[in-house]
Amino acid sequence: MSIQEAIREFLQYLEIEKGRSAKTIDNYGHYLERFVVYSKIKAPADITEVLIREYRVWLNRQPGTKVGRNIETMKRRTQNYYLIALRAFLKFLRKRGIESVSPERIELAKVGERHLDLITEAELNRLLDAPDVKSTQGMRDRAILELLFSTGLRVSELCALSIDDVDLSRDEFSVRGKGDKVRVVFLTEAAKRCIKEYLASRKDMDDAMFVQYGKNAKNAKELRLTVRAVQRLVKFYAAKAGITRKVTPHVIRHSFATDLLGNGADLRSVQALLGHANIATTQIYTHVTDSHLREVHKKFHSRK
C-alpha cells in the first residue's frame, strides 16, 4: 500500500467510523500531506523514528507569526497539531496491521498554559447592549450576543442552529457539538426574549435561526449566517462598545465559563455545559476565577 492510499483510507476512517467533522478531516489531510512532501516517503513502512525526529526539527524551524519586523518560528502548540495528526495516522496503521513505526514513539512538545482573552463584566454588558434593536438586523445581532453568553455555544454550533432546534417555551435545548456529541444548554430570560423578538420581526421563510441581510443576502447561495459573518459582527460591536482588546465569539464563550465558575459553579458542571471531552480543557479557567486564593492572600500576607 502506498502512503497516499493509506492516508486516503485513514481520512475515510475518520469520516465514517470516527464521525469527525469535515474541518477536522481537512486539517488532518493537510498536516499529513505536509509530512509526505517533507519526507518524500512512498510507503508507511518508510516512516522511521529518525525521520520523525528530523521532521520535528524541521517543523521547529518553520516560520510562524510575524511580530513587528521579526518572524517567529512556528509555535509549539501548532507543531503539536502536526504531530497529533501523524500519531493518529500511525495508530490507524497499527489497527489495520500495516507495518510502520509505533505511534508511542511520538511525544508532543511541552507547551505553556493557554492564555485566555477575557473582557470585564462592564465591557461585556456594553457589548450586549451595543446593537440597535430598531431594525430586524439589530434584533438578530442582539439575539446572537445574548445567546452566545447564555449558552457558551461555539460559533459553529450557533450558526448551525435552525429555528426548530430551539423550543422557546422551555429554558433549554440540545446542541450537537464537536465529535458529534450532544449536550444540553440553557437560555436566560434575556436570550429568550431577544430571540422571540427577532423571530417575530422576520419576513423570510428560511429555517435557519440566524440569516443574512443586506447585499450579502442578495449574493449568498443560502441565507444562513456564516461563522465568518458572526465573527465580524462581534468585532464590530466590540469596537462600538469601546472595547480596545480583541473580542471574538470564543471570548464570549470564555466569559460564559468564567462567569459560572466565579459565581460558584463546580468544574464538572461547567465542563458539561461547554461540551469539553476532557476536564483538563476546562481547568484553564480556574486560575482566573479562584476568589478563594485572593481572600487567602488578603488575609494572611504579612504586608497588609
CB 223 within 8 A of CB 202: no
pLDDT exceeds cutoff 70 at 251: yes
**pLDDT the model gives residue 68:** 62
**126: alpha, beta or left? (left if phi > 0; alpha if psi -120 to 50):** alpha
Q: Radius of gyration (Cα) for the chain, nearest Å? A: 23
**Residue spans per domain, the chain:** 3-105, 121-294
Q: What's the average model confidence in pLDDT over 104-119?
A: 79
Is 61 labeled as catalytic in the residue annotation? no
How is residue 199 written as a grid cell? 423571530
Q: What's the average model confidence in pLDDT over 56-75?
A: 81
Is 178 labeled as catalytic in the residue annotation? yes
Greater pLDDT, 264 or 147:
147
Is 20 labeled as catalytic in the residue annotation? no
DSSP β-bridge partners for residue 173: 185
- What is the assigned CATH class of domain 3-105? mainly alpha
How is residue 87 written as a grid cell? 500519531
pLDDT in tens, 174-233: 998 887 789 999 999 999 999 999 999 999 999 999 999 987 676 667 899 999 999 999
CB 145 within 8 A of CB 249: no
Homologous superfamily of the 121-294 domain (CATH): Intergrase catalytic core (1.10.443.10)
Catalytic one of 20, 87, 142, 154: 154
pLDDT in tens, 72-106: 888 888 999 999 999 999 999 999 999 999 999 99
How is residue 176 written as a grid cell? 450537537
Mean pLDDT over each residue of the chain, to the nearest integer: 90
**pLDDT the model gives residue 220:** 65
Is 140 labeled as catalytic in the residue annotation? no
Catalytic one of 178, 183, 193, 240: 178
pLDDT exceeds cutoff 90 at 4: yes
In this structure, which amino acid lies at residue 22? A
Nearest to 32 by CA among 111, 94, 85, 68: 85
Residue 16 — very low, low, confident or very high, per pLDDT cuts 50/70/90?
Answer: very high
Phi, psi of 74 (to 5 degrees): -55, 135
Is 285 labeled as catalytic in the residue annotation? yes
Q: What's the average model confidence in pLDDT over 116-134?
A: 92
Residue 13 — very low, low, confident or very high, per pLDDT cuts 50/70/90?
Answer: very high
pLDDT above 90 covers a percentage of the chain that reads 67
Q: Is 185 helix (H, G, I), strand (E, B) or coil?
A: strand
Greater pLDDT, 219 or 19:
19
Q: Is 248 helix (H, G, I), strand (E, B) or coil?
A: coil
How is residue 253 written as a grid cell? 464563550
pLDDT exceeds cutoff 90 at 294: no
Is 303 labeled as catalytic in the residue annotation? no
d(CA 65, CA 70): 9
